[in-house]
Structure 1
Amino acid sequence: MKVRAAVLNEENVMPSIETVTLADPAEGQVRVKVMAAGVCHSDLSAVRGVIPQTMPLVLGHEGAGIVEAVGEGVTRVSVGDHVIFSWVPSCGECYFCQHERPDMCDHAFMLATLGTLPDGTTPFSRPGQDGDTEDLYMFSQTSCLAEYTVVPEKGVVPIGKDVPFEVAAITGCAVMTGVGAALKSAGLTPGRRVAVIGCGGVGLNVIQGARLAGASQIIAMDHDERKLDDARRFGATHTIATAQLGDPISAVLDLTDGLGVDDAFEVVGRPETIQLAYGITRKAGQIVVVGVAKMGVNVELSAFALPAEAKHITGSWYGQAVADTDFPRLLEYYRQGDLRIEELISHRFALEELPEALEALERGEVRRAVIVMGQQGSGGEA
């Protein structure tokens, strides 16, 4: 079938919206009509070469839709089901899947690098320059910045039909990554003093996760005053505008009786902000790196301080997601009013407006932008 899709042809060139061919779902695969797709910083990172990808590539990994067809052997969903995409469809067999860490699935990582489905194929194609068919590779076995996509059976999680598609879409990445970093990777408990460096879409959800965990102090840090305004709306108790301070570490110490925070979350992906997270954390505290830096970038820390201060440094990938149980749990928080998801959406765009949405994201103008399939050009702001 012919579908419109966002195709990334080369680094540092915005994707084009093209009509491409989508194959029928094969054994163990599902075709989904995409209803909404989030515009995530990871999509922008693919455009900018921060996350290396095999190209040409159909973008998108944060989305929701309706199952339209299933391949042979599919049992977890049926035609008509509403689903969220999971961009780490775990194999269930590798060491990490067997030890309750499907977010670290070796097979899913390999396929994300190759840009294919588990059977080695990609469902997207277009006519090549020489008259042959050219394959279009997949982004994390999802590629949901398209009207329809075909994904592995384990790449979808069924949800209730009461959940708006836009809410479901961003739950599948921004909400899971941020809330999961706080509740699962950090294991926050009531009374902890927390700092969050970087208050974009994921950082706001770290703040929400800290609030859900009962943190007594949530210090939001960003260079952009607009993002600090958002941080206060989503649960920050204090804010620090880093662009206005020569020494943000002292500002945090002043708020924490000179000790530093118990837990610092870095949600930017830069060496200097990772160093800042380390510097504002008390001895024997915890640093959680959520931001994704470009491959090959290193962070310098004091070798003496590592044993002398006994701080714990960890990373958080996809909020340590176990999609089948975590997505429904997050949506239950939403239903109960404990998790603000609709309010995260600041802009809505049509698929044709994706380049504009990515540029707005890069300028820091959005909390979360959503592509609404079938929507006409809107100018973006929700």
Structure 2
Amino acid sequence: MTSAVLRTSDAQRPYADSEPLTLEQLPVPAPRAGEVLVKIERASLCHSDLSVINGSRIRPLPMALGHEASGTVSGVGPGVQGVKAGDRVVLVFVPSCGHCKACAGGRPALCHRAAEANGAGDLLHGEAILRSASGERINHHLGVSAFSEYAVVARESVVVIDDDVPLDVAAMFGCAALTGIGAVIHSANVTEGQSVIVFGMGAVGLAAVMAAVQIPGTTVIAIDPLAEKQALALRCGAHFAGPPAEASDLVAAHTQFGADVAIEAVGSARVMEACLELLDRGGALVSVGLPHPDQMLNVQALQFAGTGKRLIGSYMGDADPARDIPAYVQMWRDGRLPVELLHTDTKPLAEINQGLDDLADGLVVRRLFTCDAV
């Protein structure tokens, strides 16, 4: 099978020239107990992939990249239940074990066993199964490795969906929609009549906008430096949109004392600091983006105890994928979540390195790839 493999995090831009991802031929692995073999139909390029490319997220190399995808089950290993060959599935990058402290407490997105396996490049039920033609270990990306013709994943990494959901749409429910919608519904717990400002109109930020406008009486402000993304945010339902320089004026004009909720989907400590200043007393800043590990916050500590402001971390939107993906898909069916607006275009996997440049430059929201043999 053809897979996009990362062997160095030192590649320089433009990535179309340095080609950090190489298309390699790997043997198709057989699923072990508790695992599923999936034919990847569509794989999305996400900023989390880019963070591994540029070294912001340290992962063991070599690694077969990609984590947001839809596919068709080709086979299952021993003991797998609830999934069969031919099923369409959305892949999920946190395969919750169901037994650890986080899972037992109703927060499967924070599964301890999944975090350990994902960090090591392994799968939930065993060590990495991918190998090069010469037998070299190839690490898995977030238990998925979707930039490939096939992926072996834990049963817990797939959610079965109905055949009526287009594959392009389905792919985006595994990360962008799950994270952005969950940040609003679960992490921030936005309630009727609140004001919400969202920074960063990538796929996650736009999904957050879509979710926030579904709550009655909300005022939703979208912030992005690119006029094209401001316009897309308005198409997704935002009531107001503008560049970062106008954020303070927009909040002053359309809220009484400040925003009730700020969602930071950029991945910047400086933007997080700016968000805190725009909050009303008792407001919540929800951190969704992935800043470089070297970035540090420099804020007045008194804001928290003195004004009741809250800083909330949101990983995968605090989602329960088995529960939330079907619910979000139904919202899409009902016309309330136009996730298709996130889809910029679809390209062959051979153009993956150019896709990295286009994503970094803000030229695409979600570029999907077909992962057929090259």
TMscore range, shorter length? over 0.9
Instruction: Render the CA deviation track for 1:160-200: whole Å, top value 9, x for unaligned.
Output: 01111111111111011101111111111221111001111
The equivalent position to 2:205 in structure 1, one of 174, 188, 203, is 203
Equivalent residue number for residue 171 of structure 1: 173
Report the CA distance between 1:240 and its aligned residue.
2.2
* Percent identity between the two aligned chains: 33
Work out the CA distance in 2 between the residues paired with 1:48 and 1:346: 23
1:76 is matched with which residue?
82
1:347 corresponds to which of 345, 348, 352:
345
Checking the alignment, whether the CA contact within 8 Å between 2:147 and 2:371 is kept in structure 1 is no
User: Deviations for 1:263-315, whole angstroms, at most 9, x for unmatched residues?
Assistant: 11111111110001101010111111111112242111112222111111101
Pairwise CA distance, 1:375: 9.2
Q: Which residue of 2 aligns with 1:141?
A: 143
Match of residue 122 from structure 1: 128
Q: 1:348–1:371: 8 Å Cα contact kept in structure 2?
A: yes
Matched to 1:253, the amino acid is A
Residue 357, structure 1, aligned to residue 355, structure 2: yes
1:60 equivalent in alignment to 2:60 = no
* Cα-to-partner distance string for 1:29-71 (whole Å, 9 max, x where unaligned): 1100000011111011110111110000000110011110111
Q: Which moved more, 1:366-375 or 1:89-98?
A: 366-375
Partner of 2:43: 37
RMSD, aligned α-carbons: 1.4
Contact in 1 for aligned 2:224/2:243 (Cα 8 Å): yes
Cα distance in structure 2, aligned partners of 1:359 and 1:63: 20
Matches within 5 A, 1:1-20: 3-13=1-11, 14-20=20-26
Matched, 1:156 2:158: yes
| CA–CA distance in structure 1, aligned partners of residues 217 and 300 of structure 2 | 29
| TM-score (normalizing by structure 2) | 0.95
Task: Give SS of 1:162's match.
Answer: coil
- Measured after TM superposition, the shift of residue 217 of structure 1 is 1.1
Q: How many corresponding residue pairs? A: 366
Which structure 2 residues correspond to residues 315-354 of structure 1 after superposition, within 5 A? 315-354=313-352
Shift of 1:319: 0.9
> Residue deviations 1:87-140, cap 9 Å, x none?
100011110100000001011111111001134422211145xxxx20100001
Amino acid at match of 1:217: T
Aligned 1:250-289 pairs, distance under 5 A: 250-257=249-256, 259-289=257-287
- Separation (CA, whole Å) in 2 of partners of 1:115 and 1:204: 29
SS, match of residue 186 in structure 2:
helix
3-state SS in 1 of match to 2:132: strand
1:373 has 2:351 as partner = no
- Structure 1: unaligned runs, 5 residues or longer: 377-382
Question: What residue number does 1:313 align with?
Answer: 311
Give the Cα–Cα distance (whole angstroms) in 1 for the partners of residues 249 and 170 of structure 2.
Answer: 40
For residue 222 of structure 2, what is the aligned residue in structure 1?
A: 220
> For 2:56, what is the secondary structure of its paired residue?
coil
| Matches of 1:284 and 1:302, distance apart in 2 | 15
Amino acid at match of 1:285: G
Instruction: Say whether 1:50 aligns with 2:52.
Output: no
Would you identify which runs of 4 or more consecutive aligned residues in structure 1 move more than 4 Å? none
Letter in 2 for 1:252: V
1:323-357 per-position Cα deviation (integer Å, ceiling 9, x unaligned):
11100001101111111012210121111111111
Letter of the 2:332 partner, please give it: Y
* Partner deviation per Cα, 1:197-242 (whole Å, 9 max, x = no partner): 1111111001001011235211111111111111111011111212
State the partner residue of 2:237.
235
Whether the 8 Å contact between 1:116 and 1:122 is mirrored in structure 2 is: yes
Superposition TM-score, scaled by structure 1 size: 0.93
Please say if residues 2 and 373 of structure 2, whose CA atoms lie closer than 8 Å, have aligned partners that are also in contact.
no
Question: Which residue does 1:290 correspond to in 2?
Answer: 288
**What one-letter code is carried by the residue in structure 2 that aligns with 1:368?**
R
Given that residues 25 and 133 in structure 2 are in contact (C-alpha distance below 8 angstroms), is that contact kept between their aligned partners in structure 1?
no
SS at match of 2:136: strand
2:105 matches 1:103: no
Aligned counterpart, 2:189: 187
SS at structure 2 position matched to 1:272: helix
- Between the aligned partners of 1:12 and 1:191, the Cα distance in structure 2 is 47
**Aligned CA distance change for structure 1 residues 326 and 127 (closer, same or farther; 3 Å):** same
Q: Which amino acid in 2 is paired with 1:372? A: T
Q: Please identify, of 314-323 and 112-121, the stretch whose mean Cα deviation from structure 2 is larger.
A: 112-121
Give, as a single letter, the amino acid of the residue that structure 2 aligns with 1:273. V
Give 2:79's aligned amino acid. G
Distance in 1 between residues matched to 2:352 and 2:173, nearest whole Å: 20
Contact 1:183–1:213 at 8 Å: present in 2 too?
no
2:94 aligned partner, one-letter code: V
Gaps of 5+ in 2: 12-19
Aligned 8 A contact 2:219 2:254 in 1: no
